[in-house]
Structure 1
Amino acid sequence: MIQQLQTTILGREYTLELSGTLTGYWLVFLRLLVGWWFLHEGLNKYVAPGRFRAGWFLEKTGTVVSPVLNAFAGGATEAAIELVVPAGEVLIGLGLILGVLTRTAAFFGAFMLFFFYFGSEHWRRGLVNGELMGLVLFVTIIVFGAGRVWGVDAYLETTDLVGNWPWLRYLLG
């Protein structure tokens, strides 16, 4: 059985032929796997002994994004980052696991991993590492609209709200 996955990327409609249900199962598996990864990382920052501190990351120098990160180091902005990162990881994880606002959650996950990848010294030892692989997984979830397979987004896209405002599909799926 041949299935089709229809998605819109940057205003252009794409239809992908998927062979059987294996592709759909794979997208659900990737979405759940990445969702659990981020949910676990976010919850771990709340339960692990010692408080999550963002200073070690924000105060780095010599990386591609250190000028941006350094602007948030110290004071109230650093305290805000220490709240936003774990909360963001939990929300991204829940969004992916439930398939709710999947593209939005994956976008913010990719945004975070962009800074983790380019703000880390790990890439100096090689370009391919865990942060890059996570970034690739988030982009895959965005491109394929993985929330449309066994996710709440599949239902939300059939509602009148999304029918009246089709641009909402960019946030879903």
Structure 2
Amino acid sequence: MSSREVTLRSTVGGFTAEGQLYTLSVWFILALRLMMGLAFVNAGLDKLLGGGFNAAGYLGNAPSSNGSPLADLFVSMSQTPWFMEFMNIAVPWGQLLIGLGLLVGCLTRLAAFWGAFMMLLFYFGNWNVAHGYINGDFAYMPVFLSVAAFGAGRIFGLDRYIEQYEIDGQPLIERYPWARYFLG
């Protein structure tokens, strides 16, 4: 193995996958993180600055009109006042915070998880399988999960420094191993 590649290996359920990760890959991982961060910052800002974001119309109409298998769930959500109040805050601010987290590489795994979750909801809300089950909303889910899996927040990101922050002479990530689920 040359100094330009690293072997990745993972075993799940008795099956082992193995492959080579080349040094150039780090730039693609960074590009994915920044691309998704910018997309979510833009989406969140559009909703916040556009004034009057209200998810009720979308939830109550779009999934039903496009044949989403979760249409009844979305309609039920749209008819629950407290849930709509929550969604009208959570969607634009969630998009903005997820995007900012990815752009600066802070709490990257947490941001990527919530980004993938939002894309799952958008996938079922924007249901369109005319050209197959894989569309842009679906494709973004593994992009977010890849950002998390590769620890993209350590590449020119704040997570690299947060993980090494010392508490009583011990790096944060060693003192609190559970933080790996949020950082990286």
* TM-score interval (norm. to shorter): 0.7 to 0.9
Higher relative contact order (CA 8 A, sep 6+): 1
Distance 2:111 2:147 in 1: 10
- CA positional deviation for 1:43: 0.1
Question: TM-score if structure 2 supplies the norm length?
Answer: 0.79
Q: Which of 155, 163, 167 is 2:174 aligned to? A: 163
Distance 2:18 2:160 in 1: 16
| Distance 1:5-1:33 versus aligned 2 partners, 3 A rule | farther
Equivalence map 1:13-52=2 (5 Å)? 18-20=21-23, 22-48=24-50, 50-52=51-53
Residue of structure 2 in register with 1:69 after alignment:
74
Q: Which protein is bigger by CA-based radius of gyration?
A: 2
Percent of aligned pairs sharing the same letter: 36
Partner deviation per Cα, 1:120-171 (whole Å, 9 max, x = no partner): 2323443222101211211111221111111111111222322211111111
Segments of structure 1 that go 5 or more residues without pairing to the other structure are none
Distance 2:6 2:163 in 1: 16
Segments of structure 2 that go 5 or more residues without pairing to the other structure are 166-170
Distance 2:180 2:58 in 1: 34
Q: Which of 129, 154, 171 is 2:160 aligned to? A: 154
Specify the code of the residue in structure 2 equivalent to 1:112.
M
Distance 1:45 1:137 in 2: 23
Partner deviation per Cα, 1:2-51 (whole Å, 9 max, x = no partner): 36598x9x9xxx9975322x211111111011100000000001222x52
Q: Is the 8 A contact 1:103 1:171 kept in 2?
A: yes
Equivalence map 1:111-150=2 (5 Å)? 111-150=117-156
- CA positional deviation for 1:78: 0.9
Structure 1 range deviating more: 138-147 or 119-128: 119-128
